[in-house]
């Protein structure tokens, strides 16, 4: 069985809620493979023990890391994530901060790549209303972009679709096993 560590930081509870929804969606595919880890409560040294990683982060203010991740991200400097697949998801406010939308996800993605990780779970930018983002590369977000301020009604379906995609990329399921949402 593939073991996936889902590391998240949260201030308002929205990222934790999304993390729990992601875990539940994975459980519907293959129960028990995702372990939730709050970066405020546990250091990042255990990242190397998982087969795959999912990292969740909200963007604060004008493109800043959420405070728990701000305190924890330097721990990644000591990790070798060479060959490890990492999927990211972020929360942000596309109307309130259109020039820094999902920037924290972009910062975290850069750090994962610096440590040797292979990013998976890219997500299309269509349907979003923002100007600039450090989390966009070649017309895609570097992970799942969620906006519970502007489009909370889209969160559940986006998570379901993204989990299907990431499960295939992680090798948890095949295309034939995927479920049409």
pTM for the complete prediction?
Answer: 0.94
CATH number of residue 168's parent domain: 3.40.50.360
Q: What pLDDT, on the 0 to 100 scale, is given for residue 181?
A: 47
User: Could you count the other beta carbons within 10 Å of the beta carbon of residue 125?
Assistant: 17
Q: What is the domain extent for residue 70? A: 4-177
Give me the mean pLDDT over the 7-30 stretch: 96
pLDDT tens profile 23-72: 999 999 999 999 999 999 999 999 999 999 999 999 998 889 999 999 99
The count of structural domains within the chain is: 1
């Amino acid at each position: 069985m593939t073991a996936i560590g889902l590391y998240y930081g949260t201030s308002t509870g929205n990222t934790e809620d999304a993390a729990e929804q992601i875990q539940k969606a994975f459980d519907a595919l293959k129960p028990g493979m995702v372990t939730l880890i709050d970066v405020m409560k546990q250091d990042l040294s255990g990242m190397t023990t998982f087969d795959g990683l999912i990292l969740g982060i909200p963007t604060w203010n004008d493109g800043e890391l959420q405070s728990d991740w701000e305190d924890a991200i330097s721990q990644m400097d000591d990790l070798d994530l060479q060959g490890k697949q990492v999927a990211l998801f972020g929360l942000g406010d596309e109307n309130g901060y259109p020039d820094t939308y999902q920037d924290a996800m972009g910062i975290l993605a850069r750090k994962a790549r610096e440590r040797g990780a292979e990013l998976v779970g890219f997500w299309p930018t269509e349907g979003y209303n923002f100007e600039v983002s450090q989390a966009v590369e070649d017309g895609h977000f570097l992970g799942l972009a969620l906006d519970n301020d502007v489009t909370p009604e889209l969160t559940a379906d986006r998570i379901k679709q993204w989990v299907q995609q990431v499960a295939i990329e992680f090798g948890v399921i095949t295309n034939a096993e995927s479920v049409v949402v």
